A and B are shown apart, each in its own frame.
Chain A
Amino acid sequence: MIDRNAVGQDLGSVRFPIERGKLAELARAFHEPDGLWHDPDAATQAGLGDVPVPPTVTVLADHWREHGALEHAIALAADLDRLLHGEASWEYLAPVRLGDELTARSHVTDLTTREGRRGGAMTLVSIETTFHNQRDELVVRRQDTLIETGEAT
């Protein structure tokens, strides 16, 4: 169960590369067959200065976290059987490019509880992750809301 005093908790940091192979895998997973999503020559031919990265590209940080996408939930001691991902939000402050090395740093910014519809207290946790590139420029700010539903009564 998530600690009600988690606000401010440091959820750690991870450094990860924006690499061509992972961009190709993401493009295939998203049913994007065009080579411009990973091939610099194809991007140039399409009139683009850079390979475009998907808006959700920062998800690649999960590969470098011990528990992958569940890292934050585990750090928060959330009950994984009652955990939902409610919302995710990205703010784009500077371009992310193929070849960049990003550092993600996460912490808990807010926590609220309320009565769930099916009884038991529901906990909503807000997590902010900042992504800085190899020149220490803040490029993306991401917010996530995790929901731990109430225990069935």
Chain B
Amino acid sequence: MTIEKSRKLKFTLPGYPVGLFDLENPPPIYVRGELSERPMVAVVGTRKCTRYGIDLAESCGRTLAELDWPVVSGLARGIDAAAHRGMVSKEGRGVAVLGSGLDHIYPRENVSLLTQLLDCGGAVVSEYPDATPPDRWRFPARNRIIAALASAVVVVESALTGGSQITAVLAAEMGRPVFAFPGDVDRPASVGTNRLIRDGAIPVLGSEDLVAELSLLPGFDSGHVPRSAMNPPSSGIAIDDLPALWDCSISQALSRIGEAEAKGELRREGDRIFPETGLN
């Protein structure tokens, strides 16, 4: 861990994030690292996520990092961690909001992720002083900080109840646009996001689509447009589907992607391939 001490920011001090003034009583916050002044996007979701959600969250993290729109999330397992990971992989400046003191990183497995996040010029934020243990009842309150910090909220996967639903509702009340990724109607991890869409959240169809939507919002100035929608899509494509797409044998499909991987054009994870963005 970085040894840098955390500093306390009251709303009277310069550098206090403007977004937090939307809260009823803007609380003092403890910060370690650099809080970016660029418009932030909260990428949140359930801990009980599926590969579908992880791929999307990572993809969002990577794409937003390329535009220097910091991702705010809660460093929880699952979607939160995936979003942070995506951001860190492109050396974006992310923000993690904790529900405990900054000396109590929870969950422990994400300590190294947080270190990377700080090394990339990101920040970690909490409204609790050091030595506050991670108690579950504090986490919902943490969500209102996430909602306030962000200029837009993206829910990747969520059950009917849970932290990400709270974040979405709070954000909507504060006038922040809420985006949600649709999923199968019968999948527990997508029930919450589908419900949000029915209740008025904006459906997004991938990280590229998210960028397109976000760039219409005030404040989101895109320095450059990320590389156009690639083939395969950023959420990946199953290798088993390639022969049908390309009208060739599985053997030919395998050798084609093997060649492309060697050239660094795509990467393979399990049974899917993904475009390798930003290498050239």
Tell me, yes or no, whether A binds B: no
